[in-house]
Structure 1
Amino acid sequence: MPLPPSDIPTSTLEVLPEFQAQVFAYQGMIGGCGVTSLVVQTAYELSLLGNGLKQNTVCLVDLDFERGDCAAYLDKPPSLMLEDINATLGRMDTDLARTFVRPYSDTLSYVAPNGVLGGNDRINPDAVLGLLDSLCDLFDFIILDVPAFWRPVSEACIGAADKFFLMTELRVPALHRTRQHTELVTERLNLASPPEIIINKKERRSMLSGLDIKDAQQVLERIDIEQICNDEDALRLAVNNGQPVGKINPDARYVKSVRAHVFRLTGREIPAQAQPVSLFGRRQSRR
């Protein structure tokens, strides 16, 4: 059963009334491309930032009602049952929404379903939209982990997001599928601009995969592509410990890459990168 609102730290839920949350949705083009790791770290990084007066309050929402992993990645239990959300249709408000929220920290919370077979077909999209609408009155940022397979609930939530990101890998089949999906989604939802594209698990050296970012730009016919650095060791350690990568290793390449993504999202200036290190460990001078 959901916990009563009194059991959730109020500092997680208090926001200035004149603002409403920004909603960012992420969907992977293929299974295992790292969407859940990215949304967890993105939500965590956002929760560490603020406007000088207060820290951001962030809610991570897992929209996979069959095999969602967000709660497990945080080593936390699911926060709701599919039947409980469907039963809220037409009566959702902020007080009821609070009962489906669980805290991870003072500024980061999550909403995650207990997966059931066929859950993504059985969930009522209007009930989920009602929940998201109420969450927007409680938090500064909402991060959506959208399952890869297209379902009515996915379409509804992506259409309601302020920004939509498609994640893919640096492989030719995945890139072609991403291009096709981008065109289909843009037309289907009548988007003013196409989804933003993130290439995840990009290796440092193109020789490892045979492709580089220029190849991806050519296949996708776009130059505005973000890249997330691969750091398998840091990711594996974080997943096995049920923590965001940045909490375990804030200096990991992956963390710095996601942090740059978050800074772009929030319009912040990205810190200058340190000068490259030579093979002998000395800082290379810039002439």
Structure 2
Amino acid sequence: MNALSPKVLPTRRKRIALYSSDPQLRREIATRLDALAIYDVQVAETEAFLAGPPAEGRPSVAILDVGEGELLAGSRLVDARAAWANVPLVALSGELGSEQMRNLVRLNAADWLRKPFDGKELINAVTFHDSGSQASKSRVITFIGATGGAGATTLALSAADHLASRSAERAAGTCLVDLDFQHANCSAYLNVYTEFDIEGVVANPDRLDVELMDLIKLTRKPGFTLYSFERPSLPFAANGQDFVFKLLDLAAYRFEDVVIDLPNVETPWQNSVLSTSDEIFVVFELNIASLRHAKHLFQRIRGLRGNGASITLVANKRKRKLFGNHFSRGELEKIFRQPHIKAVSLDTPLLTDALNRALLPSEVHARARFNKDVKAIFRERLDAKAR
């Protein structure tokens, strides 16, 4: 059985500048934010804030401890705030008088927390006001099968594996979100399961934040992060849609590449996922039923997105024998009126072995034809378009 890893490698995508003359407060805040693995917290004395933003680049958020408000009385802070321009400022202080509060408002502080404050309050303030200046827009890559068993889940896992294999940093910035709550096949494939009971989170999606995302994740060294939950009733839950959207929003906030395994069933979030994905892979088999569903799905996505959508059609389980396939590549291009349809070879022994051993196909035999086919597709469709 694959062991769960409680550690998420840091992506260091978002820089937070923390200024305080209180060593204990600096230590507590830095420890709390560093534990989330998405922040690079830079700590300095309060005086450093007055010198303006660091030369190496502006942070996403600046946190300033103004103590008991004595710093608010001078003009230096006003001049310094102008130098920080539009960087969101989260101010920390003790009890302030009305005049001090007015001065804080004049400084255009994005938020204020009175000491002592709860750590959750601080995290919520930082994530809410994060300007994203240090984070590139996340890329959403969705796999959807034309029919059940077409192989979309296997290809989604292989895509996440491919992206994560580039480096430790890429692995830390890659996650796979399994939206098949009926079976949670992604976690079943790898034989990893979360022990966290998400029942209460689904009932109250507002509980889901970057801190909780680290608790409900699944990781498997040396690869990507996985979010996969078996909860068949979730699509019918009163707050199921809100939970899914919050999960996807936080995944996009936390990771650079978000791979989605989207089952081809009607759910309140299916159209939204298809409408907002940067890359869509439609996976089908070479039989009439799967081809018909794939064509309808392809036309539906075109209707949602127009001709500008980046859609890759993948004919999975292609037999390499001369008379093994009923449809040629040319015939497929005529059916979809789309050139350059991709094909992945059928390799039953490889995939069966991988499934039985809870391994990814690349871990069983990296040079197998299946792995060569998917690698060639991902190099062209994902690596060539990497930001």
Q: 1:109 to 1:260 in 2, by over 3 A?
A: same
* 1:28 correspondence with 2:145: yes
Give the C-alpha shift of residue 15 in structure 1. 3.8
Q: Where in structure 2 are the equivalents of 1:77-156 lying within 5 Å?
A: 77-78=193-194, 81=197, 83-116=199-232, 118-122=233-237, 124-156=240-272
Write the mapping of 1:1-287 to structure 2, written as runs, cut at 5 A: 8-11=6-9, 13-17=10-14, 18-50=135-167, 54-57=169-172, 58-78=174-194, 81=197, 83-116=199-232, 118-122=233-237, 124-188=240-304, 192-193=308-309, 195-205=311-321, 207-268=323-384
Q: % of aligned pairs identical?
A: 20
Relative contact order: is structure 1 or structure 2 higher (C-alpha 8 Å, sep ≥ 6)? Answer: 1
Q: From the superposition, tell whether residues 10 and 171 of structure 1 become closer, same or farther in structure 2 (CA, over 3 Å).
A: closer
Q: CA RMSD in A?
A: 2.4
Deviations 1:106-146 (A, max 9, x none): 44111111232x43333622321211111223222111111
What SS class does the counterpart of residue 320 from structure 2 fall into? coil
Secondary structure of the 1:193 match is coil
- Aligned-partner Cα distance in 2 for 1:79–1:132: 20
- Structure 2 unpaired stretches of 5+: 15-134
The separation in 2 between residues aligned to 1:9 and 1:214, in whole angstroms, is: 48
Q: Distance in 1 between matches of 2:196 and 2:138?
A: 21
Which runs of 5 or more residues in structure 1 are unaligned? 1-6, 270-287
State the one-letter code of the partner of 2:241: P
Residues 56-108 of structure 1, C-alpha deviations (whole Å, 9 max, x = no match) = 33211110111221111111114655534423424533112222211111441
Aligned partner of residue 56 in structure 1, secondary structure:
helix
Identify the range of structure 1 (175-184 vs 33-42) with the bigger mean alpha-carbon deviation.
175-184
Describe the shift of the 1:251–1:91 C-alpha distance in structure 2 as closer, same or farther (beyond 3 A).
same
Using the alignment, how far apart are the partners of 1:206 and 1:221 within structure 2?
24
How far apart are the structure 2 equivalents of 1:22 and 1:85? 26
**Greater CA radius of gyration, 1 or 2?**
2
| TM norm structure 2 | 0.61
CA distance in 1, matches of 2:136, 2:317: 35
Distance 2:223 2:205 in 1: 28
Structure 1 residue 31 displacement after superposition: 0.8
Using the TM superposition, give the Cα deviation of residue 268 of structure 1 relative to its aligned residue in structure 2, in angstroms. Answer: 4.3
- The separation in 1 between residues aligned to 2:323 and 2:11, in whole angstroms, is 49
- Name the SS of the counterpart of 1:210 in structure 2: coil
Distance 1:81 1:120, change over 3 A: farther
Query: Residues 80 and 111 of structure 1 are in contact (CA less than 8 Å); yes or no, is this contact kept in structure 2?
Result: no
Distance (Å, rounded) in 1 between the aligned partners of 2:197 and 2:230: 5
Q: Deviations over 1:135-173 (max 9, x none)?
A: 223222111111121211222222232111111111233
Which stretch has the larger CA shift, 256-265 or 190-199? 190-199
* Distance 1:79-1:265 versus aligned 2 partners, 3 A rule: farther
Partners of 1:55 and 1:24 lie apart in 2 by: 15
Q: CA deviation at 1:190?
A: 5.5
Moved over 6 A (4+): none
Distance 1:220 1:245 in 2: 29
Per the alignment, do residues 79 and 208 of structure 1 end up closer, same or farther by CA in structure 2, a change over 3 Å counting? farther
Shift in Å, 1:246: 0.3
Tell me whether 249-258 or 88-97 shows the greater mean CA deviation.
Answer: 88-97
Change (3 A) 1:158 1:66: same
